Amino acid sequence: MRVLETTPSTSSRMSRQRSRDTDTEMALRRLLHASGLRYRVHRRPLKGVRREADIVFGPTKVAVFVDGCYWHGCPEHATWPKRNAEFWREKIEKNRARDANTDARLKEAGWLSVRVWEHESPDAAAARVAAVVAERRAARGH
């Protein structure tokens, strides 16, 4: 295992990063709820797969992931750190690979993954999610 040397300020900053209930996620959830959609929060869509979606629409099999630009390597906003560059690049690339694997496993099981970047407008993201859920409901005849 590689030893990671971080400064106290970096360690403190990273420990304050929220992994759930972020501002973007909360805004998205409020908009989806206000539009009449009901969902589960922070659930594993597939039993036996240790991957948790931020928002889950069980009956329509839609899993929504709100991805942070830094942690998931946003093509628009991600920056590569200069300190411990190799460690962080490897960490972010592993996150990307895990995200792709999660999407593939969900698809195999009949689920649809919707990825929302933290920089996206919550209104636009909510409209996109609502449209996907409505489309899948219609396909099921509900």
- pLDDT one-digit tens code per residue, 69-109: 988 999 898 788 888 889 989 999 999 999 999 999 999 99
| H-type alpha helices, 1-142 | 8-15, 23-34, 85-108, 122-140
Please give the single-letter amino acid code of residue 140.
R
Which pTM was predicted?
0.85
102 falls within a domain = yes
Domain, as residue range, for 103:
43-140
Rounded to an integer, what distance in angstroms lies between the CA atom of residue 19 and that of residue 107? 24
The CATH number of residue 122's host domain is 3.40.960.10
Mean pLDDT (the chain, rounded): 89
Q: What average pLDDT does this structure show over 14-31?
A: 81
Structural domains counted in the chain = 1
105 falls within a domain = yes
Q: What average pLDDT does this structure show over 126-142?
A: 93
103 falls within a domain = yes
